[in-house]
């Protein structure tokens, strides 16, 4: 009843089977894909569109504005500073509640 280890095919601890690789790819790939589609692409599109003039209806109407939108917000819009103040108050309030 002596069996030698040399006769058995020993799988290395680091090698993954085809099923393991597929499962790992699914568990990593699907959430990465979902995050890319629903978070990163819209965020980057928002940043890019903030530098344009666009009414939001036709893509052909997009015109490059550069920093003119930001210049208008910071220099000419008084409601921006009021909204910024309100957001900072909410941020401080909820950070105090959380701690």
Q: Tens digits of per-residue pLDDT, 25-55?
A: 999 999 999 999 999 999 999 999 999 999 9
Say how many CA atoms lie within 13 Å of 67 toward its Cβ: 3
Is 93 among the domain residues? yes
Is 27 among the domain residues? yes
73 in the same domain as 40: no
69 in the same domain as 43: no
pLDDT of residue 5 exceeding 90: no
Number of domains observed in the structure of the chain: 2
What is the span of the domain harbouring residue 72?
61-99
pLDDT of residue 24 exceeding 90: yes
Is 1 among the domain residues? no
Q: In sequence order, what are the residues at sequence separation of 6 or more whose Cβ sits closer than 8 angstroms to the Cβ of residue 52?
A: 62, 63, 64, 65, 69
Residue-wise pLDDT tens digits, 50-98:
999 999 999 999 999 999 999 999 999 999 999 999 999 999 999 999 8
């Amino acid at each position: 009843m002596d069996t030698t280890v040399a006769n058995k095919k020993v799988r290395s601890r680091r090698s993954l089977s085809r099923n393991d690789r597929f499962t790992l790819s699914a568990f990593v790939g699907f959430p990465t894909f979902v995050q890319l589609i629903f978070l990163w692409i819209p965020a980057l599109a928002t940043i890019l569109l903030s530098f344009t003039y666009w009414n939001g209806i036709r893509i052909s109407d997009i015109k490059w504005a550069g920093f003119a939108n930001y210049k208008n917000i910071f220099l000419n819009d008084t409601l921006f500073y009021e909204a910024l103040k309100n957001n900072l108050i909410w941020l401080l309030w909820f950070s105090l509640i959380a701690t």
